[in-house]
């Protein structure tokens, strides 16, 4: 269960960074 959670957190983090980059 740790693997999927870490993967999801990684994807969410990356998406958040991408959104911030688009915002700027």
Model confidence pLDDT, tens digit, residues 1-24: 566 667 676 777 777 677 666 766
Q: Tokens 């957190």 map to which residue?
A: 9
Q: What is the pLDDT of residue 3?
A: 66
Q: What is the pLDDT of residue 17?
A: 74
Cα distances from 22 to residues 3, 5, 13, 19, in angstroms, run 29, 26, 14, 5
Whether the predicted model's global pTM rises above the 0.85 cut: no
Q: What is the pLDDT of residue 12?
A: 72
Written as six digits, the tokens of 19 are 């959104």
Cα distances from 4 to residues 10, 14, 16, in angstroms, run 10, 15, 18
Taking the alpha carbons at both ends of the chain, their separation in whole angstroms is: 35
């Amino acid at each position: 269960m740790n693997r999927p959670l870490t993967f999801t957190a990684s994807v969410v983090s990356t998406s958040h960074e991408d959104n911030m980059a688009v915002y700027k």
